[in-house]
Structure 1
Amino acid sequence: MTKIKLALCQMNVVDNKEENLKKATSMIKESVKQETDFIVLPEMFNCPYSNDKFIEYCEEEKTSRTISKISQLAHENNVYILAGSIPEKENANLYNTSYLFNRNGEIIAKHRKMHLFDIDVKGKIKFMESDVLTAGDNVTIADTEFGKIGIGICYDIRFPELARLMAQKNALILFYPGAFNMTTGPAHWELLFRSRALDNQVFCVGVAPALNENASYHSFGHSIITNPWGEIVTETDTKEELVITEIDLSEIKKIREELPLLKNKREDLYEIIEK
């Protein structure tokens, strides 16, 4: 199977976990009606993007209402779901964690955000995830019926080494649930997704929360799919929206044959290796 129908759920996240889960459920069910194979939720889809809310909304994996609900939805609807990310607590640590569920509702991959969002753009935005979150340390690859996929979260996309490591492990699609803001989003979001797709000749998928002007953190939205030629397949704006798009993974082989970037690397001179 080379064709895969993706659903990008750019949902409006509010300061109410129950409402967020209802919204996610609604968008998942609507995606299923449109015969989607693979549904993607945004970064921190059950929680406002704020350090104090990460602490308030965090859940332990074994007892998580959010994980239980998404697992149930994946199983009942026979669909893959990448549950964007949630604040996950393990012992004394908090992580920004993404879970991938297969059609049976089983967790088949788990990615903890590796690169924490610590920035200070003078006069515009300052955010320090490391004040409350702990970084993950694993490159995340999952086996699916469509082939291997890679998972990063938001700020992870800024590091081309991670994308290359996932591509070297034969990932065909790189997913980055993310929540760029109104400063970094207009400047870099589209550029980064096009670049990572082009660098590695893969599809890249980013799904963000919609812009909520009442929130303390303003998400740029603009959920996106880019193809192995570096083109934009689809992109939203800032409002809440469900986008269903079919991609054909056979494009990867075609483009790699026409423009053999990965074959032409000078591995006698340089390489990227995972420690």
Structure 2
Amino acid sequence: MTSFTAACIQLRSGKTISDNADAAESLIRAATKDGAQFVQTPEMSNVLVRSRQELQERISDAEDDLFLKRARALAADLGIYLHLGSLAVLAGNGKIANRAFLIEPDGNILAVYDKIHMFDVDLPNGESWRESATYEPGTQTVIADLPFAKVGMAVCYDIRFPAIFRTQARVGAQVLTAPAAFTRQTGEAHWHVLQRARAIENGAFVISAAQGGTHEDGRETYGHSLIVDPWGSVIAELDHDEPGYVLAEIDTEAVAKARQRIPAIANERGFSCTLREPAGEMPA
């Protein structure tokens, strides 16, 4: 089996986990009815709360998370692979994990990934983010071996760090993922080019569900959930920031063809870097 139908679910998650689970379930059921076999939700599907204290009060350990429990039951009910782009769950050390889950059609959890790169930035419009103050970063990249594809797992800001995706591609990943809650400002500037670049340089599909719109905690996210093919073409996009879903047919034979046409992974070589500094002052 080399082909399957993938769906991106676009959400506008708020502060109440049960409400977010209701919204996600409705869209997941609709996408599955349209033929989706692999369904992905965005980063922080279960809750978006900017206040660290309030977030900790609302979430729980993974095994007790309401969103995850409902997602596992839903995957089993629909018989789909369900990729929760990430959930906020307690990490057990005073911090929180930004954790992705890939659930099998029987409801069991096949793979878990903790976001590695923390979004610690000061944006020109005055927005300031310090994810490292709240979240415990992961240390290991993860690939899930599904019947129709090997799927690499990543989250949002990871998309700006190509080494994760190249490492996954080197060991066989045909589908790369970057479910996100991109800010509107960075999304407008970089969302599409980053997704397409990761697809092109690795000859892989990229599937990235997104949060979109103005959220209950005041943040604005970009939306534009999309799927990119191994040649860098956007083959499906939800071209707005409203909740919804988008589907595309994924044929992994296209990965082999792209990597044969441009064998960047096979041609890659190791190298060193030398910094040359002037021996003295430049002549006047």
TM value normalised by structure 2: 0.90
Secondary structure of the residue that 1:104 maps to in structure 2?
coil
Q: Which runs of 4+ in 1 moved over 4 A?
A: 267-270
What is the alpha-carbon root mean square deviation over aligned residues? 1.6
Residue 60 of structure 2: aligned partner: 59
User: Shift of residue 90 of structure 1?
Assistant: 2.6
Structure 2 residue identity aligned to 1:194: R
Q: 1:158, 1:86 → 2: CA distance? A: 20
Change (3 A) 1:49 1:168: farther
Residue 273 of structure 1: aligned partner: none
Residue 179 of structure 1: aligned partner: 181
Change (3 A) 1:89 1:168: same
Q: 1:68, 1:198 → 2: CA distance? A: 36
Query: Can you list the C-alpha shifts for 1:201-259, whole angstroms capped at 9, x where unaligned?
Result: 10111111121265411010011111111111122221222112112111111111122
TM value normalised by structure 1: 0.93
Secondary structure of the residue that 1:262 maps to in structure 2?
helix
Q: 2:135, 2:272 → 1: CA distance? A: 37
Q: 2:271, 2:14 → 1: CA distance? A: 51
User: Shift of residue 56 of structure 1?
Assistant: 3.0
Structure 1 residue identity aligned to 2:59: C
Aligned match for 1:193, one of 188, 192, 195: 195
Structure 2 residue identity aligned to 1:241: G
Given that 2:42 and 2:85 are in contact with CA atoms closer than 8 Å, whether structure 1 keeps it comes out as yes
Residue 46 of structure 1: aligned partner: 46
Q: 1:252, 1:49 → 2: CA distance? A: 38
User: Shift of residue 116 of structure 1?
Assistant: 0.6
Change (3 A) 1:55 1:18: same
Structure 1: gaps (5+ residues) = 271-275
Larger CA deviation: 51-60 vs 69-78: 51-60
Where does 1:11-160 land on structure 2 (aligned, <5 Å)?
11-52=11-52, 53-92=54-93, 93-160=95-162
Change (3 A) 1:102 1:167: same
Structure 2 residue identity aligned to 1:232: V
Given that 1:81 and 1:100 are in contact with CA atoms closer than 8 Å, whether structure 2 keeps it comes out as yes
Given that 2:46 and 2:87 are in contact with CA atoms closer than 8 Å, whether structure 1 keeps it comes out as yes
Larger CA deviation: 222-231 vs 46-55: 46-55
Given that 2:15 and 2:216 are in contact with CA atoms closer than 8 Å, whether structure 1 keeps it comes out as no
Given that 1:13 and 1:46 are in contact with CA atoms closer than 8 Å, whether structure 2 keeps it comes out as yes
Find the structure with the greater CA-based Rg: 2
Given that 1:125 and 1:183 are in contact with CA atoms closer than 8 Å, whether structure 2 keeps it comes out as no
Residue-pair matches, total: 270
